[in-house]
A and B are shown apart, each in its own frame.
Chain A
Amino acid sequence: MSVTVMIVDDSKLARIVAAKALTQLQPEWGKVEAGSAREALDVIDAQAVDIALIDFNMSETDGLELAAELRAMRPDMPIAIITANIQDEIIARAREVGAAFIAKPVTGEGLSGFLSGAALKLKTTRA
């Protein structure tokens, strides 16, 4: 099964860290990076993306707004909001748009739950 994960974060370091954790857990999966919400939408237009990992704290369009847009486009896509802003309110808002919440800094442990759930969901959707 070919899976492509889009990592959206305005921080290159954060993208590196997330990609590293992802590679540890799912070495076979493809990765595509975007530095902003606008770039993310371009990526979605240009290629197939199965999963989105989205930073919350971004200028212009924040991660929750982007997640809401993606959700509207792709109701079934597994989406995770990644942020160090672990306020209960942010977690609640992530849930509202049907996104998982992963605290920064991203670790393999923190990511694994979401990825296994996403893999399962993709399997059933594609099946």
Chain B
Amino acid sequence: MIPEQIALTELERDALTEIVNIGVSRAASSLRKMIGEQVLLSVPSIEVVSHHRAARLISEREVADLIAVRQDFTGPFSGRALLIFPETNSLELVRAVTGGELSAAEVVEMEQEALAETGNVILNSCLATMANMLKRSLTMTIPEVLRGDGAKLFEVDEAGSEEGLVLFLYIDFAVRMRDIRGYIAMLMDIPSLATLKELLDEFIASVVGDDA
């Protein structure tokens, strides 16, 4: 089912997991600096799936309406990164990142803008770190705040007009003290994946050397 050229070897998968780990560690560190609380991260989950299944995975994750900050990235590998959390968490997150300096009314007024900036910081630090690890550069769009279900956030058509495969990657995060939870998700197109695979092999070669 998965085309030969994009099937990741175990080492490549390890390498990708590690690179994502580095990226989200950096992102979590950024978030921690913004809200001054410990941020818990799960082990990244990486799957190569169809567009359709990716949409299902997203829509199955959450019952509640979602809010997301989305950034598309282009470069040697292209795709879409999202910071997603239940809409009910939104104001709490805004309150957290604004450090209690704003009135309730201001928090509401600032919501959209504050979410965009938070997503910008988290997704940028994650993607930039990954780009650095792979020694390539990525171009990132201005963050966009979206509301809706999973399929809408990824602009994936559940009817399945898009047959292609994607790399679907997500990491749960939770801020216990603030009752904030969410996840970072990334979708990468398969043509980009072929490139990513090459980049991963380069990375492995540089790190592992003769032990590969």
Contacts and interface: CB of A to CB of B under 8 A. Distances in A.
Contact of A84 (B98, B128, B135): B128
B140 interface: yes
A62 B110 CA distance: 23
Contacts of B131: 87, 89
Interface in B117-153: 117-118, 120-125, 127-129, 131-132, 135, 137-138, 140, 142-143
Contact of B132 (A13, A84, A86, A104): A86
A90 interface: yes
B94 to A, nearest CB: 8
A12 B33 contact: no
Interface in A23-81: 57-59
Contact of B101 (A16, A58, A83): A16
Nearest to B119: A84
B197 to A, nearest CB: 21
A18 to B, nearest CB: 11
A107 B33 CA distance: 8
Contacts of B38: none
A88 B121 contact: no
B68 interface: no
A85 interface: yes
Nearest to A109: B33
A84 B122 contact: yes
A13 B98 CA distance: 7
A117 interface: no
A11 interface: yes
A93 to B, nearest CB: 10
Given A16-B98, A105-B33, A87 B138 contact: yes
Contacts of B132: 86-88
B142 A105 contact: no
Interface size classification for chain B: 20 to 34
Nearest to B126: A84
Contacts of B33: 105, 107
Nearest to A110: B33
B193 interface: no
Interface in B75-118: 97-99, 101, 110, 113-114, 116-118
Contacts of B142: 57-59
A85 B113 contact: no
Given A13-B98, A16-B101, A59-B142, A84 B124 contact: yes
B195 interface: no
B110 A104 contact: no
B30 interface: yes
Interface string B2-41: 0000000000000000000000001000100110000000
Rank and list the top 7 A-B pairs by shortest CB-CB distance, nearest first. A84-B124, A11-B117, A89-B137, A84-B121, A87-B128, A13-B117, A85-B124
Interface of B: 26, 30, 33-34, 97-99, 101, 110, 113-114, 116-118, 120-125, 127-129, 131-132, 135, 137-138, 140, 142-143
